[in-house]
Chains A and B, each alone.
Chain A
Amino acid sequence: MVKPDIKQFNEIAQAFKMTSEERKDFGEFLEEEKAAGYGGTKNERGDFTYQELQKKAREFLGLELEEENFED
C-alpha cells in the first residue's frame, strides 16, 4: 500500500472537483489504462507521475476535448 500515491491521487481528484464517486471511478479507469498498456512512467508498474495524473484526469472528465473544441 502506497499512501503517498493515494494522497497524490486524492489531491488531483479534489483539484478537478471530482465527486467521491468520480474519484473512485477514476481509480478504476487508471487501472484499466495500465492494463491496456497506457500506463505511466513513474515506475515499471505503470503508475503515473503527478503531471500524467493531471492529464489522465482531464481525459477522464472530457476536458481536453472541450478545450480543443473551444480553440476551434
Chain B
Amino acid sequence: MNLMLIQLIDSETDLKQLQEIVENICGEICWEAKLSYGDELSLEIGDKIPYSHKLMKNKQKGSWRFGTRGSRWRLYSIYFTLDFPANSQNTVSLLNSSKISRKKIRKLIVSSESELKIIKQKIKLLEGNEISQFKLNYPDLVLKISFNNKYELQVFPDWEDDYDLPYWELFTTNNMVLQLGVGRSWSYQRSDLPMNAATEPLTGEELLKTMKEFEYFPKKRVALICGYFYIDEENKIAAKLNDFENAVAAASNINLI
C-alpha cells in the first residue's frame, strides 16, 4: 500500500501540517536548478546524494528535491527601498525618524512563459542560495520559495486544468513526497513504493514500521494514513477493513490519543 495522507484545503489551518513538514528545508542550499523532462523546473537542495541507479552513476541528487509539474511559475529578484518621510530636514533627524519604512520590491527575472534558452540561463541564479522561506499562501495557494531573501520563486496552481496532475512536488529527506493538488488538496506519501500500489493493504509488520515513521502524528491520523487498518486504544491493530472509507470511519469513532 502506498501510504497517503490527503488533506483538503478549506481553511488556513489545513496548511499547518504541510508547513511543519517543510520547515526543515529552510537553511538548506539549492545547489542545482535545471529543467527536467517536460520542461519541469527542478531544484536539487540540501545534501548531495549519489544516484543508486547504475545509468546515473557519478551523478548526484539533493536530499530535498523540488519540481513543478507543468505549472506556471515566476522568478523574481527581491530588493528593498527605504521610504523617507516627505518633510525630513536633515540626515540626523532622518535617521532618528520612526517614519522610515522598508518597502519590498519584486522584479521579474524569468517565468515559465519565457524562451527556453533564457529559462535555462536565468534559473542558474538560484544555485548556491539558501532557502529562507517555503510558504504556501492562503487562500490562493500560490507557493512562495525565498532564496537568501534575494530571489523569490512563485508557483501558481491552475484550477482550470483537468490533467489530473499535482501542481508541484517536494521530495523530502525521509523517502516521502509532498504534493499540492489535484484541486484544493495536498498529499504526503511514500516516494519509494510504486505509484499505483495504493490498493494493497499493509502487512502488520509494515504497519508497525509506518507507525514508527509517523510517530509525530496523532495516532488517529496514523490510522487514517494506514487506510485499511485502524488501531485500538491499547495500540493494537483492531481490524482489517475492506475499504478505505470504512477505515476512516472506524478511526474517527474511536478515541485515540
Asked if residues A27 and B191 are in contact (CB atoms below 8 Å), the reply is no
- Annotate B208-251 by CB proximity to A: 1 below 8 A, 0 otherwise: 00000000000000000000000000000000000000000000
Question: Which chain B residue has the least Cβ–Cβ distance from A25?
Answer: B53
Give the complex CA separation of A10 and B177 in angstroms. 15
Asked if residues A28 and B42 are in contact (CB atoms below 8 Å), the reply is yes
Most central of A3, A13, A47 by chain B CB within 10 Å: A3
Asked if residues A7 and B165 are in contact (CB atoms below 8 Å), the reply is yes
Known A21-B175, A21-B192; judge A28-B165 contact (CB<8 A).
no
Asked if residues B56 and A2 are in contact (CB atoms below 8 Å), the reply is no
Is A20 on the interface with B (CB-CB < 8 A)? yes
For chain B, the bracket of interface size reads 35 or more
Give the complex CA separation of A17 and B196 in angstroms. 7
Question: Which chain A residue has the least Cβ–Cβ distance from B196?
Answer: A14
State which of A2, A29, A62 has its C-beta within 8 Å of the C-beta of B70. A2
State which of B56, B69, B72, B193 has its C-beta within 8 Å of the C-beta of A28. B56
Is B36 on the interface with A (CB-CB < 8 A)? yes
Asked if residues A3 and B163 are in contact (CB atoms below 8 Å), the reply is yes
Is A63 on the interface with B (CB-CB < 8 A)? no
Give the complex CA separation of A9 and B165 in angstroms. 11
* A contacts with B, residue count (CB < 8 A): 30
State which of A1, A59, A62 has its C-beta within 8 Å of the C-beta of B39. A1
Is A37 on the interface with B (CB-CB < 8 A)? no
The residues in A between 25 and 66 inclusive whose CB is less than 8 angstroms from any CB of B are: 25-32, 47, 59-60, 62
Give the complex CA separation of A47 and B39 in angstroms. 10
Asked if residues A23 and B195 are in contact (CB atoms below 8 Å), the reply is yes
On chain A, the residues within 8 Å of B171 by CB distance are: 20-21, 24
State which of A2, A18, A19, A31 has its C-beta within 8 Å of the C-beta of B36. A31
**Top 5 nearest A-B pairs by Cβ distance?**
A3-B70, A27-B37, A6-B38, A30-B37, A20-B191
Given contacts A17-B197, A18-B194, 20 further A-B contacts (CB under 8 A): A1-B38, A1-B40, A1-B71, A2-B38, A3-B70, A6-B163, A7-B165, A10-B165, A13-B195, A17-B196, A19-B192, A19-B193, A19-B194, A19-B195, A20-B169, A21-B191, A25-B51, A27-B37, A29-B56, A31-B35
A-to-B contact residues, CB < 8 Å: 1-7, 9-10, 13-14, 17-21, 23-32, 47, 59-60, 62
